[in-house]
Amino acid sequence: MTTPIPPRDPRTVMRLARMGSLHQCRLSFMRTLLRRLQSQHWRFETQAFEIDAKGVGHAVYTAHGPDHSYSLVAFAHDLPPDMRSDRVIATAWDATFTLFDGVPTKTDIARLRDNVPKQEAGRVSDRELSLSRANRSVRLWDHVVDSLAAGHQPDEAKVRDVGYLMRTTAVYGSGKFGAADREQSAHRDECRGPFQVEMLSVYLTRAFVMDLVEHVARMRAPDTAVPLDPALRRKFGIGNSTGLGMAPFLMTHPVLINHWMAAREEAIARVRSLPSATQDEADAFRAYAARARLHAEDWSSDHPVQIAKLADLRSDMAHLAGHLDTADLTGNQPWNRLWRWAEDNCSLEGQEQVASLLLEPYGDLVDGLSSCMYANEQEVMRIDGAMPVSDLRALTRDIYAWALAIDWDQRDSQARVWYVSEAKLEPRVGERFEEPIEPYEQPLCPGRDAARMYADLRDFPDGPVAGFLLKHPEHRHVVRRAQVAGQFPYAEIRDNTIDAGMMPIDLLRAKLSFFGACHFDPRSDRWLRINMFQHAPYPAELASGNADDWTYPYLRKAAE
């Protein structure tokens, strides 16, 4: 008899340094999507591809599911190089997209052509489920077009260095800029899981971009151009640049974040609890560990923080390989023993890589948890006004012990301010003591706010919380957070989100790892680049391809 292992303590998991070291896993949303598309035999067709020699025009890629069809409507533009900025602050792009609910008519296309290229400055309707745009990676795009036009394949090393031909710079979903709200489609099986609509749009975008590069090469040199070799083609993902716009999400959707983290933690606990493993499962884990090591080798970044983390990760993966040479992975709760080894021997990067790897051989045991990763947030965010003040006090001490221990009078403890800029209506982080931004502070510092709330709560007469809230409306948002975190253990980040040393990229990485992103490449402490769907089969290959086992590069031996 072995004892089941409980999920990890939120006080361990919900720290920014660890959240900023998360890796994709079987429950990541890209993988959930491709498993579904394959198992339900989705059909894909290119309904239109009307693009001229300069690369200007539109295309429509439709995915047909069992009950609904979804169409990526892509507009390709001829963007002058001086207008090519990947940032959300740009106003023109190489390509713009929307995911249309169904199959668009000519009238729909005309309407979308007037709006989608303008992005935030345009307006879409409740027939559209997402809005996005992408720019070329100039360094790779020109090389690939030149090579294909000249009749040969591009240089594999250059492909590996960049990893994609276009980078999306924003993928707007639920209700943004007039698009349909999530609840309008959330009752459909394929839309219920988080970000499935957005991931489908990105997956089809990757297919479009690859068709586009081949098309441009063919238009330039019809007599000599060749298509990309299919194996090399799969080495292209689709890039993304992500910044602060995404960061508040982790604090403004505590229940959803809980469900994501709780699903992954439950999956890890289930595998760790297994009393034994078969030789096949042990061999599978060893193969995944070797592939994850290749992934770590292929991953590059110029950011000093990530350079150091990558050095740690590579060393961890080498250390793991050595350990796996001799470790018994079959008896005596082998995965729990391996996890304990990782905790004792690896950096946070390595630990979280091992945690994600543990799930790989156990799809049957863990994949079903992906159905627990969505939330109806309207209902669960209500305050329980009948809770006794004494209970709220105890709850606050439990959830926010770390925050009550911080000296909030120290400048560094609240050096930062989250605010929204007037110019771009985007979330920003500023310096409280250097910029005139404090009056505009957003409620994105739960730790400090909990400490303030506790100071007023300490001497408040006993009675229902309703009375405390009537007297202290300024604490209402954090009373809600405390109550939510009391019900949902992973709802709250257990770290100071306004500390002088806080790095927003930790928040971004946590979210993006759940999307299934790889190759996190911070460009500063507040924005980063990633690669998505690299090595995944294309829509036309999906029926017979490897819909799930593509996230780590294949071992060279196996690929040959």
Partner 1 sequence: MSWSLNEIEGLARKATRGAGLSWGLAEDAGRATRWLCAMGLPAADELANVLTEIDGVAYTEIAPQSFDNPWRAPGGTLCPLVAGACLTDMAGALADGEPITLGRTAHPLLLYPYLAAAADMTGTSLALEWDGTTITRADATSFLDSDGPDTPVTEKVRAGIAGAPTGRPARRAWRGEISADTAQILQGLAHRTYAPETEQSRLAGAGAGLTDND
* Interface segment toward partner 1; rule CB under 8 A; list 48-56, 105-113, 330-338, 472-480: 472-480
By CB under 8 A, tell whether 469 contacts partner 1. Answer: yes
Q: Which is nearer to partner 1, 124 or 342 (CB)?
A: 124
- Closest C-alpha to 60, from 22, 18, 112: 112
Q: Within positions 90 to 129, which residues make up the interface with partner 1, using CB under 8 A?
A: 125-126
| Nearest distance from C-beta of residue 382 to partner 1, angstroms | 5
- For 504, the token pair is 């927003």
| Nearest distance from C-beta of residue 352 to partner 1, angstroms | 24
To the nearest 10°, the Cα dihedral for 51, 55, 58, 64?
A: 90
CA 143 to chain centre: 29
Task: Quote the radius of gyration of the chain (alpha carbons, Å).
Answer: 24
Beta strand residue intervals within 113-248, DSSP E: 128-136, 164-172, 237-242
- Closest C-alpha to 453, from 531, 393, 408, 494: 393
Distance separating alpha carbons of residues 89 and 424, to the nearest angstrom: 7
Distance separating alpha carbons of residues 449 and 213, to the nearest angstrom: 51
CA distances 468 to 446, 448, 479, Å, are 18, 18, 10
CB 444 within 8 A of CB 251: yes
Q: Which is nearer to partner 1, 362 or 468 (CB)?
A: 468
By CB under 8 A, tell whether 512 contacts partner 1. Answer: no
- For 434, the token pair is 């250097």
* Interface segment toward partner 1; rule CB under 8 A; list 130-138, 286-294, 330-338, 543-551: 130-138
Distance separating alpha carbons of residues 152 and 293, to the nearest angstrom: 31
Q: Within positions 64 to 93, which residues make up the interface with partner 1, using CB under 8 A?
A: 81, 84-89
| Nearest distance from C-beta of residue 348 to partner 1, angstroms | 22
| Nearest distance from C-beta of residue 17 to partner 1, angstroms | 19
Q: Within positions 406 to 465, which residues make up the interface with partner 1, using CB under 8 A?
A: 419-426, 428-431, 434-437, 439-440, 442-443, 464-465
CA distances 301 to 20, 119, 241, 276, Å, are 15, 30, 14, 38
Among positions 304, 407, 473, 556, the unique one binding partner 1 when judged by CB under 8 A: 473
By CB under 8 A, tell whether 493 contacts partner 1. Answer: no
Plot region of 442 (φ>0 → left; ψ -120 to 50 → alpha; else → beta): beta
Cβ neighbours around 467 below 10 Å, total: 14
- Closest C-alpha to 165, from 135, 191, 195, 194: 135
| Nearest distance from C-beta of residue 277 to partner 1, angstroms | 44
By CB under 8 A, tell whether 249 contacts partner 1. Answer: no
Among positions 114, 155, 183, 229, the unique one binding partner 1 when judged by CB under 8 A: 183
| Nearest distance from C-beta of residue 140 to partner 1, angstroms | 9
Among positions 175, 227, 363, 545, the unique one binding partner 1 when judged by CB under 8 A: 175
Among positions 176, 192, 314, 337, the unique one binding partner 1 when judged by CB under 8 A: 176
By CB under 8 A, tell whether 304 contacts partner 1. Answer: no
CB 465 within 8 A of CB 387: yes
Among positions 11, 41, 54, 139, the unique one binding partner 1 when judged by CB under 8 A: 139
**Strand pairing of 237-242 and 164-172?**
parallel
By CB under 8 A, tell whether 160 contacts partner 1. Answer: no
Q: Within positions 514 to 543, which residues make up the interface with partner 1, using CB under 8 A?
A: 523-527, 529
By CB under 8 A, tell whether 43 contacts partner 1. Answer: no
| Nearest distance from C-beta of residue 462 to partner 1, angstroms | 15
Distance separating alpha carbons of residues 550 and 536, to the nearest angstrom: 5
Q: Which is nearer to partner 1, 173 or 350 (CB)?
A: 173
By CB under 8 A, tell whether 328 contacts partner 1. Answer: no
- Closest C-alpha to 338, from 330, 551, 13: 330
Q: Within positions 206 to 235, which residues make up the interface with partner 1, using CB under 8 A?
A: none
Q: Which is nearer to partner 1, 56 or 470 (CB)?
A: 470
Q: Within positions 362 to 401, which residues make up the interface with partner 1, using CB under 8 A?
A: 378-379, 381-386
By CB under 8 A, tell whether 155 contacts partner 1. Answer: no
Distance separating alpha carbons of residues 479 and 382, to the nearest angstrom: 10
By CB under 8 A, tell whether 243 contacts partner 1. Answer: yes
Q: Which is nearer to partner 1, 67 or 434 (CB)?
A: 434
| Nearest distance from C-beta of residue 240 to partner 1, angstroms | 11
